[in-house]
Chains A and B, each alone.
Chain A
Amino acid sequence: MLAPVGVLIARGITRADIGAALASPFVRGAVQLSLVTSAIAVLAIVALGTPTAYLLARRRFPGRALVDAVIDLPIVLPPVVGGLALLLLLGRQGPVGGPLAGAGIDVAFTTAAVVLAQMFVAAPFYIRAARAGFESVDERLEAVSSTLGARPWRTFRRITVPLALPSLAGGAVMAWARALGEFGATIMFAGNVAGRTQTMPLAILEAMEADANAAIAIAVVLAAIALAVLIAFRGLARAGSRAL
């Protein structure tokens, strides 16, 4: 596992002129677009995924098993299939994309499509971690909080979230890494236009066909981020076990 990544980084440092490649507008545009879209995707995942994870961890409701199973679907579904499915749903001929296009809103082949594709593939990683985090919080702590007069929202904010925080942060970091690396769903659903939908993985493919050094430079950046994510995740896991 280490060998190919090691060679990539070594090659990037010794031969490919990373500095010059990173300064090129082509690579800078891709890096910028990737950072912006993946950040928006993670914020949206946290906003929508946290309540979902909490409900799955704490409440019994009809269809819970189904929701639980469906959330894992993007993990096992090939991303390119997810991208085609998103295109068929939200493209101009799709049951949702059609009416939206009628209202003047195009989703497919826009930067918004990049974010949606990233959310689709990355959300399960956050929801799974957040759910495990909420489940690890002792329900009696929440019970005590409410017997002392704290309203549910205050209990959630002051008791549940702080105790589950390492899991939430770990999940968000993993989801971000997955969003940053998204390729298959993006190229199907968002297309490939520099500066608008060409994220770093798409730029690697295009650069390979023109300037391999640029491809290696982008790949080194992604590999470095992946290593940083791994270190951060392990740090959060340790912080989690220390705090409890």
Chain B
Amino acid sequence: MSLSAAIRSIPRHPVGPPSHPADLQSPKAPRRLKSFLEKTLTRANPTLHALLALLLLTACNPTPTPELHVFAAASLREALTETADAFQRANPKVQIVPNFAGSQLLRLQIESGARADLVISANPDHLEALHHSGLLAAPPTVVATNQLILAVPAANPAGISGLQDLTQPNRRVVMAAESVPAGAYARQMLAAHAAATGQPGFADTVLQRVISFETNVRQVAAKLELAEADTGFVYRTDVLASNGRLHVIQTPPQVRVTATYPAAVLRDAPNSDLAQRFLTFLRTPQAQAILTRHGFGAPA
């Protein structure tokens, strides 16, 4: 008897179709859930009732704390958090809700209708675009400046000593994407070095050494802190915020790139008066002292 004939002679057993690979629930699951919900909701359940009472209380709070939604460039994280704390101490009824991201993403969120009162970008381009689209209540005001720098992990494993070292083969460079302010500034610095040293292909060579174009400058700093890259372009403030995990590599004054941080109240800001007050506060000596301590420069 052949093999196939032998197999055909065996009574077949019903076998189902291939089960769904992500088949995580049994057919009993919905029934079980239903009975669980019924039990939980119908029986006297002190915990549940307490929770519901709490929910109702918070929902009916007659004087809600005004929330100020501040969309801020990723590099402002520590400095703005501290400035917001100072503002809230002076205005205890205000709750500042920050949203930190790459400035290009903040712009995209605002263009897509995100609820925001104040926006602070790490370069003028994105706010100018918002202004052109009529999304700002007034032209932007500069609240701080910053310096783009070349940084290395504290141990400097690749022995980077200047921009020229970035052209060596096997160097792993990390920087922000071109739409991110820190990425645009990095390209400016590369162009300045190329012009100062007369190497037209310099920027392209360095861009070939880039292992990742990150979506905000703090992702660049993170890759450097993990020493997954040899060097990268961040702000002076990011090195200060790294608590010694990053070091600055000195670059000559010809390639100096200064970042400006414009801020503006949104046209559709739910709390525009409050937003304007916080914007004014950012330019006071008290707020500027906090920003300076985190490495930012005064508005030019």
> Which A residues form the contact surface with B (CB < 8 A)?
75, 87, 91-93, 106, 108-109, 124-126, 128-129, 132-133, 136-138, 140-141, 144-145, 148, 150, 158-159, 163, 166-167, 170-171, 174-175, 190-194, 197, 205-206, 208-210, 236-238, 240-241, 244
- Which partner residue on chain A sits nearest B126 by CB separation? A209
Q: Does B226 contact A209, Cβ atoms closer than 8 Å?
A: no
Q: Which residues of B contact A192 (CB under 8 A)?
A: 177, 212-215
Give the A-B contact count at a CB cut-off of 8 A.
111
B residues contacting the other copy or chain, number (CB 8 A): 37
Known: A138-B10, A145-B7, A191-B213. 17 other contacts (CB 8 A): A129-B19, A133-B18, A138-B13, A138-B15, A144-B7, A145-B3, A150-B3, A170-B18, A171-B18, A191-B211, A192-B212, A197-B212, A208-B108, A209-B104, A236-B18, A237-B17, A237-B18
- Which partner residue on chain A sits nearest B227 by CB separation? A93
Q: Does B108 contact A209, Cβ atoms closer than 8 Å?
A: yes
CA distance A213 to B174 in the complex (A): 28
Chain B nearest CB from A45 CB (Å) reads 12
Q: Can you identify 25 A-B contacts, CB atoms within 8 angstroms? A: A87-B228, A91-B228, A92-B227, A93-B226, A93-B228, A106-B172, A108-B228, A109-B229, A125-B21, A129-B21, A133-B18, A136-B15, A138-B15, A145-B7, A148-B6, A150-B3, A170-B18, A170-B21, A192-B212, A193-B210, A197-B212, A206-B215, A210-B179, A237-B18, A244-B14
Chain A nearest CB from B186 CB (Å) reads 14
Q: Does A238 contact B17, Cβ atoms closer than 8 Å?
A: yes
CA distance A210 to B102 in the complex (A): 13
Residue from B22, B212, B227 whose CB has the most chain A CB atoms within 10 Å: B212
- Which partner residue on chain A sits nearest B24 by CB separation? A75
Known: A150-B3, A192-B214. Contact between A209 and B17, CB under 8 A?
no
Checking B3, B12, B18 against A148 with a beta-carbon cut-off of 8 angstroms, the contacting residue is B3
8 Å CB interface, B235-288 against A:
none
Chain B nearest CB from A141 CB (Å) reads 6
Chain A nearest CB from B172 CB (Å) reads 7
